[in-house]
Structure 1
Amino acid sequence: MNNPETVRESPAPTAHITRVDAIGTATLRQLLADFQLSVTEISLDAPIPGSFWGEVEAGLQGDTLLVRPDTPLHSALHEAGHYVCMDPARRAVLDTDAGGDYDEENAVCYWQIMICDRIDGIDRATMCADMDAWGYTFRLGSAAAWFADDAEDARAWLIAQGLLDDAADRLRSGRRET
């Protein structure tokens, strides 16, 4: 469980943001199994272990993503993206704070938008709108504008790590191994 001194509240309310229960935990499990990330559902009345932001936000502990039905889907996918993008040494000690640098953070945001291509009923536009509603900030003013016009570095990072197939413009299954 989080140390109370490190628990943070999510920056914005999540009332109009797509939640995990919109796709179901089983769908999330199936999606993330391709990346060797397991998913554990926590009951609605329990705090989420491994949550960096606290409240309803997803948690990461080792190779497990922890969510509740009311966890914002963008939060679950963002934390999953961190796991996929980090190297094995960081994964081995992963608990709550995924860490990573500026370039990885951008790549994670790009990854969480791209992964929506694999989820029935959730598209890139919905993910971008949810990211904006939560409080992600991009210098072009929105996640969609960033993704379309300013994310070349994030895309290049994913390609360099072998996580994005440039020719097919789709994410590769699996996770970063180096």
Structure 2
Amino acid sequence: MSALFSRYGLNTVSVAKEEPIPGSFWGDSEAGLIANELYIRDDTPIHSAFHEACHYICMDQKRRTGLHTNAGGDVHEENAVCYLQILLANQLDGYSSDCMMQDMDNWGYSFRLGSAAAWFEKDAEDAREWLLHAQLITQDNQTTWKLRT
């Protein structure tokens, strides 16, 4: 995970199990963000680490500089973050977009079509457009989207 996120200038910092996670918006085992550091523990859910990392990836440098706990952003960015975390999941050995979407559903992410998978396949055009405009993804063909490298 560290190598994946470091490509975007984000450092992953491990927190001892008994310690609170700095910069965690949700508390408990959920990942935290402060500036360019993503804080996680061994019990931090993968979807949480990816979600916070994708917030960082999607924000501009000015917001990154002042980042502490609350990533902010509007609903369009939030959708883009969710879409990006699903795409990035395939980059983690032993994990996948399908695993990510199931984890998102289990945690309680809410989508109009009832599941992360249905949203990703049928209702995420605005998220794709946001990511295209931000130059974080490219379109391979009519139906295939990939991370910009």
TM-score by length of 1: 0.80
What is the correspondence of 1:65-84 to structure 2 with a 5 Å cutoff?
65-84=38-57
Aligned to 1:51: 24
1:112 to 78, 82, 85: 85
What is the correspondence of 1:12-31 to structure 2 with a 5 Å cutoff?
28-31=1-4
Aligned identity (percent) is 53
CA RMSD of aligned residues (A): 0.9
Aligned to 1:92: 65
Stretches of structure 2 that go unaligned for 5 or more consecutive residues are: none
Q: Deviations over 1:36-88 (max 9, x none)?
A: 10000000000000000000000000000000010000000000000000111
Give, in angstroms, the shift of residue 109 of structure 1: 0.1
Number of residue pairs the alignment of both structures matches? 146
Aligned to 2:99: 126
What is the correspondence of 1:137-148 to structure 2 with a 5 Å cutoff?
137-148=110-121
Give, in angstroms, the shift of residue 116 of structure 1: 1.1
Please give the secondary structure, in 2, of the residue aligned with 1:118: coil
Stretches of structure 1 that go unaligned for 5 or more consecutive residues are: 1-27, 174-178
Q: Which has the higher contact order (CA 8 A, sep 6+)?
A: 1
Residues in 1 aligned to 2:72 and 2:25: alpha-carbon distance in whole angstroms: 10
Residues in 1 aligned to 2:87 and 2:74: alpha-carbon distance in whole angstroms: 20
